[in-house]
Amino acid sequence: MEPGVRAAQHLRQVLLFFVFLEGSSVLSETWSYSVAEEMETGSFIANIIKDMGVGDLAARGARVIFDDYQPYLWLELETGNLLLNEKLDREALCGTSEPCILHFQVLLENPLQFFQAELLVEDINDHSPTFLEKVIFLNISEGATPGTSFQMDNAQDLDVGVNGVQNYTISPNSYFYLKLKEGGKGRKYPELVLDGSLDREKEPSISLILTAVDGGSLPRSATALIQVAVVDVNDNTPEFERTLYEVQVPENSPVDSLVIKVSATDLDTGTNGEISYSFSHVSRDVRETFKIHPISGEVHLKALLDFEVIQSYTINVQAVDGGSLSGKSAIIVQVTDVNDNPPEIVLTSLMSPIPENCLSEMVVAVFSVRDQDSGDNGRMMCSIQDNLPFLLKPTFKNFYTLVTENPLDRESRAEYNITITVTDLGTPRLTTQHTITVQVSDVNDNAPTFTQTSYTLFVQENNSPALHIGTIRATDSDSGSNARITYSLLPPYDPQLALNSLISINAENGQLFALRELDYEALKAFEFHVGATDQGSPALSSQALVRVLVLDANDNAPFVLYPLQNASAPCTELLPRAAEPGYLVTKVVAVDRDSGQNAWLSFQLLKATEPGLFSVWAHNGEVRTSRLLTERDAPKHRLLLLVKDNGDPPRSASVTLHVLLVDGFSQPYLPLPEVAREPAQDNDDLLTLYLVIALASVSSIFLLSVLLFVGVRLCRRARAASLGGCSVPEGHFPGHLVDVSGAGTLSQSYQYEVCLTGVSDTKDFRFLKSVSPNHEVVNCVEENSTSLSGFGYN
């Protein structure tokens, strides 16, 4: 990342070096514990409940976090015991550093609290000293004066302190004794001191045993063979240009790169003036990291440097001439930091999913960051994306908490991918990103919603029971059980509606079923409410209106009201032989319980004694004469009529009429012989008789009123014309003299005037003048008095 990328001002950045202790959630006291290396796993270290005064560790989410995030210890949440999680090797953890301290924190999540602690790993004597070279060669001039000392490589011991190398001994001899010298960091180096003069001619070589012993309770030792070669006199030692060299090397320097070049001079000549360079008394880290050219004195890298592991090296070099005289110098190599370590993010805890109704500043995640670089290279800033309902809050040291900032809504967004970005301030800047997914769990905050506020369903009558008549549907924007909907029938507002016997509903899918056969003539429509309830807690519900319309089917045949077909004797109509063509003999009245076109009735003459004498109007059922009567016409006629509706398929009923021809009104009425009846029909005939009587009574009252009104109007009209008065006869006219309109079966109503002359004599009769505006006026026909008494109409 280039330095100019500082324009990322949209990020909510938090600089690691501005982390402060917040309130009482972090205690400044540091608890110190110690453990010997190589102790068995599960060894007791401490009890933090007693030491730190905390309790209920499981509920508070207690955990132990080391700075290098290794699980060296584990915490028993029930007892508070801090136990060893694995065997510790002090040499692997800290090398030669002393003391070996591991820093860790005890984290309590709820509420958030930190305790600082450290673990001292104590050294035990588990390593023996070792010499890097089993045979040490020394070339010593025979001219060396007693008291001259000769440096030798020290023994290496991975243990530290008293367990490190504490003493050196040499095998008994006549020429040398051993002298110990203190080096840096408490190290001891052996020097071989000449105790007496050497004589190459007597003894050209001497073999000695060098023994190194550590200071453990059970001391360990190592030996090396010293081969001393006595050479000729060399009276000048090499001298370095400087006694101390200092150099800075970037940690990203490649292998074999030149670190520094040392130089020494020797005033001797020949082999005694030939100088070779080598390391002297250096640690294993130096030997593994650097190498020196024996002739040129150039020091090169043997391995890569790492500032985060070792920041400086001290290299002792020596220049040895051909006469084994040596000069000494030291090189201090300072490793300079390079921004070669990106920041690290370690997620400590994550709460997912979180409820959508959670409170503000609810802790969602706890994580820590670190950068192994130093200075600006190790300073960091931490951020997350904008436009998220979350905030980053620094807590303790390098720990951060991710908390909610605004209320959440799962229906708007059920998942958040939060990218934590950590950038250091080095050059170039290094960035690390870690994405966590936070699920939002559902809360039952949405009631079911129907796809329609009301539903209209159509059902054909005479349906089969358990017929599926329709489906209602509701949706719920919640999820899981909060969105699982159960349908139910709500109690109807009309208490007389037995809804449970009419309709049932499938509670799972909202399918509606008719429980029994519906009858349009009994129930044309009904409505009820359906409820949809989710399974949340608390449950939410809504309701919708359902209207059920029953469709009519042609399941009722026409019923003939007049003439009665189940009477004790057949109905006989009287027809005067003097009747004109179109004379109204009678009118068939029928009804149909169905509706619409299923109730449209038509009339048809199927059979007659005298074909062509009578005709039936198809739409109103009026039976009229088609021609004049003759003497050859039979006196008795039987007509068979068919009444048919307009349904699909059509239904019909038949009616039989008996017509008796009479010569005049005074001729006695001759009833036809009674027809034998079955006893089983008596109850039905009696019911029909009651219905006809009631209908005739109502019709008679209505027609009487009409006749009185018509009579008054006619009398007034006659006076105005000065043609004499037309009087309305007193008394009640028989009901069969005036037409009775059928219930819904006739297209028009017909009224007729019955007029008498103004003279008191009743011999003259003016016959049937229509007062309907749609018919022509028929002239009155005069008849004698004998005809008047025996004349009748239907």
- Please report the DSSP string for 658-698 in residue order: EEEEESSTTSPP-PPPPPP--GGGHHHHHHHHHHHHHHHHH
Using DSSP's 3-state secondary structure scheme, residue 512 falls into strand
Question: Kind and range of the H or E element at 704?
Answer: helix 682-720
How high is the mean pLDDT of the chain? 80
What is residue 384's predicted lDDT score, i.e. its pLDDT?
A: 92
> What's the CA gap between 458 and 454, in Å, rounded?
14
Residue 73 has pLDDT above 50, yes or no: yes
Q: Which two tokens stand for residue 650?
A: 């059509």
Specify which residues 485 forms β-bridges with: 534
pLDDT in tens, 724-738: 433 333 333 333 333
Contacts of 709 (CB under 8 A, 6+ apart): none
Is the bond into 353 cis (omega within 30 degrees of 0)?
yes
pLDDT at position 780, please?
29
- Tell me what pLDDT residue 293 has: 95
Average pLDDT score over residue span 166-182: 88
Residue 455, pLDDT above cutoff 90: yes
Residue 77 sits at the vertex; the CA angle it makes with 72 and 82, to the nearest 5 degrees, is 35
Is the predicted pLDDT of residue 677 greater than 50, yes or no?
no
Alpha carbons 102 and 116: distance in angstroms, whole number = 11
The whole-number average pLDDT for the span 104-118 is 87
pLDDT digits (tens, 9 = 90+) for 480-514: 888 899 999 999 888 888 888 899 999 999 999 99
- Categorize the per-residue pLDDT at 478 as very low, low, confident or very high, splitting at 50, 70 and 90: confident
> What's the chain's Rg over C-alpha atoms?
63
In this predicted structure, what is the pLDDT of residue 80?
86
Tell me what pLDDT residue 150 has: 86
Strands (E) across 293-444 are located at 298-301, 312-320, 326-336, 344-350, 354-355, 363-370, 380-383, 390-394, 399-404, 415-424, 431-441
pLDDT at 260: 95
What integer is the mean pLDDT of 152-173?
84
Q: Does 755 score more than 80 pLDDT?
A: no
Residues 384-415, buried b or exposed e (16+ Cβ, 10 A)?
Answer: beeebebbbebbbbbbbbbbbeeebebeeeee
pLDDT at residue number 783: 33
**Cα first-last separation, the chain:** 114
Q: Which helix (H) or strand (E) holds 712?
A: helix 682-720
CA distance linking residue 660 with residue 672, whole number of Å = 9
| pLDDT at residue 706 is higher than 70 | yes
Cα–Cα dist 714/703, whole Å: 16
Tokens 């028993």, residue located:
76
Residue 247: predicted pLDDT: 95
Residue 682 binned pLDDT confidence (cut-offs 50, 70, 90): low
Which segment, 33-47, 66-80, 529-543, is predicted with the most confidence on average?
Answer: 529-543
Question: Distance (Å, rounded) from C-alpha 726 to C-alpha 756?
Answer: 6
In what helix (H) or strand (E) does residue 559 lie, and over which residues does it extend?
strand 559-562
Task: Name the pLDDT band for 668 (thresholds 50, 70, 90).
Answer: very low
What pLDDT was estimated at residue 509? 92
pLDDT digits (tens, 9 = 90+) for 553-602: 888 889 888 888 765 666 788 989 888 999 999 999 999 888 888 889 99
711-721 burial code (b ≥16 CB/10 A, e <16): beebbeebeee
The residue count of the chain comes to 794
Question: Each residue of 754-770: b (16+ CB within 10 Å) or e?
Answer: bbbbeeeeeebbbbbbe
pLDDT of residue 142: 80
pLDDT of residue 418: 92
235-270 tens-digit pLDDT: 778 999 999 999 999 999 999 999 999 999 988 777
Are the beta carbons of 16 and 397 closer than 8 angstroms? no
Pick the residue with more confidence: 749 or 720?
720
- Does 740 have pLDDT greater than 60? no
Over residues 433-442, mean pLDDT: 91
Of 526, 451, 527, 440, the closest CA to residue 485 belongs to 451
pLDDT of 342: 92
Digit-coded pLDDT (tens) for 223-233: 999 999 887 67
Q: Which tens digit of pLDDT belongs to each residue from 113-126?
A: 888 889 888 888 88
Residue 640 scores a pLDDT above 80 = yes
pLDDT at 673: 42
**Rounded alpha-carbon distances, angstroms, from residue 430 to 310, 628, 687:** 22, 124, 106
CA distance 262 to 332: 12
Residue 684's pLDDT is 58
Percent of the chain beyond pLDDT 90? Answer: 31
Look at residue 346 and tell me whether its pLDDT is greater than 80: yes
Cα 421 to Cα 342, 347, 348, 380: the distances in Å are 11, 13, 16, 10
**C-alpha count within 13 angstroms, C-beta hemisphere, residue 284:** 11
